[in-house]
Amino acid sequence: MTDSINLSSPALYINRELSLLEFQRRVLEEALDDGNPLLERVKFLAIFGSNMDEFFMVRVSGIRKQIEANITKLSEDGLTPREELAAIRKSIQQLMMEAQKCFQKKLLPRLDKEGIHILEYSKLSKSQKEKADKYFSELIHPVLTPLALDPGHPFPHISNLSLNLAIVIRDKKGHEKFSRLKIPDTLPRLVPIKRSSGGERKDGTIPHHHYFVWLDQVIAANLGELFPGLEVAAAHPFRIVRDADIEIQELEADDLLETMQANIRKRKFGSVVQVTVYPTMPDEMRDLLVENLEVNQNDVYMLPHPLGLANLWQLYNNVERHDLKYAPYIQRVPKAIRSLDVTTNIFDVIRAGNILFHQPYDSFSPVVDFLNAAARDPHVLAIKQTVYRVGANAPVVEALLEAAERGKQVAVLVELKARFDEESNIGWARRLEDAGVHVVYGLVGLKTHCKVAMVVRKEGEGIRRYLHLATGNYNAVTSRIYEDFGMFTCDEDMGADSTDLFNYLTGYSTKKSYKKLLVAPVNLREQMERLIRREIEHAQAGNKARLIFKINSLVDTEMIQLLYQASQAGVQVDLLVRGMCCLRPGIKGISENIRVVSIVGRYLEHSRVFYFQNNGSEEVYLGSADLMPRNLNHRVEVVFPVENQRHVRLMREKILEAYLKDNVRARILQADGTYQRAKAESEEKRFDIQQRLMDM
């Protein structure tokens, strides 16, 4: 090992914000990929738009706060907050221009060719204009509220993520006035004006033609209806994004639920962090927005039509063209659970051995069935569960409500601070409390991110604890598109650990040790360091030493330095990092034994898997934690061992090593922070891991 090398050198780290933007670039690449079905490409562009909105709401707003607070602390790669923001803005402008070009030059012509016509209002036929204008009169006009700007009318509040028209009106004397009009988000951004059957195709199918026009263009063309007796001199669209990162002073909060509700309301009034306009907007109007929205010119991005790519979700959801989407996939049910019949229940099956399943390839329904069975089983005494992101329609929570109604002892930790899911979680918390469930909101200063459900069942003279441990959320909807692992077990030590964990979450337990679970912020960092150092020692002794980690993000400096040390010792380190990665691979003498691969495809890679070769005595851990300071220090996370040796081999051979062979969806991280797409030598040798897992 080269002790003289300074592993804290800024040159060894990739900026986390720029790395996150590189992930957004990979999402955008999927929209550009001709190999993806057309409407799936539209969906990827919508995802890119949503992700970029969140990047501004959370990441850009956070850096701006540092600048406003005169914080000059350098990032790990040696940038001040001002330098970081400048680098981010440069990258963002390029990315967003590429995205707009993707829509205009790549997707629009293909959509048109496939009979999905998104038309400019100015190019509508007479009959189409009549239909659009009728839609305006009947459905749009009644909900519009133009707001004037003059001494009697101060600049109106403009809501987050809203699209607006900046309007110049002129009276008969030639005096000009400014008005702002919000484009209502209660109406579809793409107004349907016609849907008809096209001619028969050669294969005998009859396609449907869909015709849409942009809502903001319909409104702009009919502004005269809103300002009778006045001339509409100009109307220029603009869109804003506000700071939406909620900061909570938990130590000062008497009631966390009420505090969260108040903070969600404040989110609507966060400072503006981005304004997007068309290049045709005059300088004086742009200056007016800059002054009144209290931003600077660098916060204004000039982009071509359309503003707000996230709205393209509507196109994906509303156009029923299955030939332009991924073929439906029927999820599997693990073999052990398929064997259930009237003579057995799920608890019998779990007692027979741990059950590992891999979503979305395996169905999430066994998890719901497990909780429903627990709710209805007369031998079940208690159910305890963590809830992070369950969504609006949550069969898991319905099962907990039923359990409470049937007299079971039910305790649920609802994490109110799950970003952008706060309102949904508050609603579920109130329903659970109303049903008599013991609801707690976690630990002060920590976000509870672990995924654990425990069922306590009376059996014979004692009790047995049945567990579901997972890498992903208890969300029946996202389980169909997020890749995750889950495990059923009734292992005694893990059950005891889970009891201690829930006591830690709901009471004042200060337990610092667990038998099998790795729990953040208690012992996860310490145990992960121990396991990595063990591989280093094996390599130094000439033994077999390899690490394979599959995670969402690698940001933690201490962990990165430890992985550098592992590489220097000769440990083969393979990292499957879907999102941010601040480690630089391939640096001679430091990280030449490290490979970093990112998979972006049909399903969101969300699982966290940690493999240790351990000189042939292989170990695999699964869990909820990424290698980030927030996961290791500021969240309650659980990483659990996979102890069935057949499962361990399966995880290495059929999962991790197979992921590393991908040459269709994989991108390889270079030392300069860019990614190169893996390429198959020939069509026959194409290997798409997600497709392979669907075909198994």
Among 91, 98, 107, 99, CA closest to 16: 91
Return the axis-axis angle of helices 38-54 and 16-32, rounded to nearest 10°: 160
Question: How is the chain split among helix, strand and coil, in percent rounded to 5?
Answer: 40, 25, 35
Nearest to 676 by CA among 235, 31, 29, 120: 29
Distance CA 687, CA 168 (A): 56
* Domain ranges within the chain, ordered by starting residue: 33-324, 335-515, 519-695
Q: Would you call 641 helix, strand, or coil by DSSP? A: strand
Name the one residue in this structure whose structure tokens are 């607006």.
164
Residue 197, beta-bridge partner list: 208
pLDDT of amino acid 151? 67
Q: How far apart are CA 240 and CA 163, in angstroms?
A: 7
Say how far apart CA 131 and CA 115 lie, in whole Å: 19
Three-state secondary structure call for residue 70: coil
Question: For 229, which DSSP code?
Answer: T
Return the CATH fold of 519-695. Answer: Endonuclease; Chain A (3.30.870)
How far apart, in whole angstroms, are the C-alpha atoms of residue 489 and residue 349? Answer: 10
Summarised one tens digit per residue, pLDDT across range 242-268 is: 998 755 444 444 455 565 566 555 556
How far apart (Å, rounded) are the C-alpha atoms in residues 671 and 13? 10
Sign of CA dihedral 27, 33, 39, 42: positive
Residues of the chain with pLDDT under 70: 1-4, 151-152, 195-207, 246-269, 342-343, 417-422, 508-509
80: CB partners within 8 A, 6+ apart: 72, 74
Model confidence over 662-679: pLDDT tens digits? 999 999 999 999 999 999
Residue 364 corresponds to which tokens in the numbers above? 């999430």
DSSP per-residue letters across 6-55: -TT-GGGB--HHHHHHHHHHHHHHHHH-TTS-HHHHHHHHHHHHHHHHHI
Amino acid at 101: K
How many angstroms separate the CA atoms of 66 and 636, rounded?
26
> Burial code of 341-367, b = ≥16 C-beta within 10 A, e = fewer?
eeeebbbebbeeebbbbbbbbbbbebb
The pLDDT value recorded for residue 394 is 86
Q: Are 99 and 46 in contact (CB under 8 A)?
A: no
Report which secondary-structure segment, H or E, holds 288.
helix 283-293
The closest alpha carbon to 241, from 162, 155, 147, belongs to 162
Q: How far apart are CA 305 and CA 326, in angstroms?
A: 27
pLDDT of residue 1: 44
**By the 8 A CB rule, do 151 and 354 touch?**
no
Query: In 488-614, where does DSSP find H-type helix?
Result: 492-506, 524-540, 557-569
Active site residues: 449
d(CA 614, CA 350): 28
Length of the chain in terms of residues written:
696
Do 335-515 and 33-324 fall under one CATH topology? no
Name residue 66's beta-bridge partners: none
Residues with Cβ < 8 Å from 133, sequence gap 6 or more?
218, 221, 222
Q: Which CATH class is domain 335-515?
A: alpha beta
Segment (H or E) for 470: strand 462-470
Question: What is the spatial distance between Cα 37 and Cα 325, in angstroms, rounded to a whole number?
Answer: 5
Residue pair 449/415 in contact (Cβ under 8 Å)? The answer is yes
Q: Pairing state of beta strands 462-470 and 482-489?
A: antiparallel
The confidence score (pLDDT) of residue 507 equals: 77
CATH number 3.10.180.10 is the correct assignment for the domain at 33-324 = no
Written as six digits, the tokens of 318 are 């509303």
Only one residue has tokens 């059929």, namely 654
Identity (one letter) of the amino acid at 260? M
For position 248, what pLDDT does the model report? 45
Q: Which residue has the tokens 């050198």?
A: 9
Q: What was the pLDDT predicted at 428?
A: 78
- Which of 234, 487, 227 has its CA nearest to residue 355? 487
